[in-house]
Amino acid sequence: MSRSKQPARPGSQRGAKPAADTSTLPGPDSAEALCLAADELSRQLRRLRPTAPVSFIYHPLDYAREAHHQYLRRFGRGPKKVLFLGMNPGPFGMGQTGVPFGEVAAVTAWLGIRSGVTPPGDQHPKRPIEGFDCRRSEVSGRRLWSLFRDHQPDPDRFFADHFVANYCPLLFLNERGANVTPDKLPRQARDLLEHACDRHLATLVHLLQPDHLVGVGEFARRCAERVIASTRGAATTPAIHGIIHPSPASPVANREWPARPVRQLQDAGIWP
């Protein structure tokens, strides 16, 4: 986690093709390759420094690295039929557990991950990292993992052909402790973030070879479209789809979850 006010250094040119990082892949074990890719993404994003409106940056891939690697090693073996892509961690989800959409109860009870978080030293007083002792529920994560559990009660069978990831692994907070979404970052910081995260997403697609890439919400869908458009001609070119975001801030999600995303996945031919 970082809190200094130094400006972010720029990444590569915007619009550059985000080639998948295959230089460190250890052969056919995609789960171990995902762990290496996550560590590399974390390393690249340590260069990012808080600038207004961001005061705190939480790095779950660092302080929850062990839990995140448990998730990748247990469920990340490819290929997959469907890759679901979220935006970035929530304060009571991946911010606590290191697992995408990582609502504590779902991660511990359904995914079986219960350890691997060492809270960092510098935290916003309103957003402490309590790991698996966190008693707050991440509504978005609870809704999404319940949708998946209802579709396939056995997590191993679900992950046999599905995987869930976040485009950005960082949680951004302002001085009041409120979330700042990645699209609200200053241009220089956003350039650095997009370069690293686009490249990482290209690597995920290369490793998991999904037939379908589903953005959970509009931001994630647009990121998926941008990355896949820039990697045309690659061995794997998944079809891009979107479902509504399960956020409680969304009136549509509050009215129509889970019926709406189920219908969207059925209309796309992904679920029967």
What is the C-alpha to C-alpha distance for residues 146 and 151, in angstroms, rounded to an integer? 8
Provide the CB-side half-sphere exposure for 91 (13 A, CA).
17
In DSSP notation, 92-159 reads TTHHHHSSTT--HHIIIIIS---------S---TTS---GGG-----HHHHHHHHHHHHH-S-HHHHH
Res 70: pLDDT: 98
Residue 179, φ and ψ in degrees, nearest 5:
-65, 145
Residue 98, φ and ψ in degrees, nearest 5:
80, 5
- Determine the Cα angle at 73 with ends 242 and 83, to 5°: 10
Pairing of strands 212-216, 82-86: parallel
Q: Is the peptide bond before 53 cis (omega within 30 degrees of 0)?
A: yes
What is the C-alpha to C-alpha distance for residues 201 and 218, in angstroms, rounded to an integer? 16
Res 3: pLDDT: 47
Burial pattern 164-184, b for ≥16 Cβ within 10 A else e, equals bbbbbbbbbbbeeeebbebee
Tokens of 128: 């402490």
Check: CB of residue 141 under 8 Å from CB of residue 103: yes
What is the C-alpha to C-alpha distance for residues 194 and 36, in angstroms, rounded to an integer? 19
Res 17: pLDDT: 52
User: What predicted TM-score, i.e. pTM, was given to this entire model?
Assistant: 0.90
Res 231: pLDDT: 80
* Tens-digit pLDDT profile for residues 192-251: 999 999 999 999 999 999 999 999 999 999 999 999 998 876 666 999 999 999 999 999
Res 245: pLDDT: 98
Segments of the chain with pLDDT less than 70: 1-28, 233-236
- List the CATH code of the domain at 33-267: 3.40.470.10
Q: Is the peptide bond before 258 cis (omega within 30 degrees of 0)?
A: yes
Res 29: pLDDT: 82
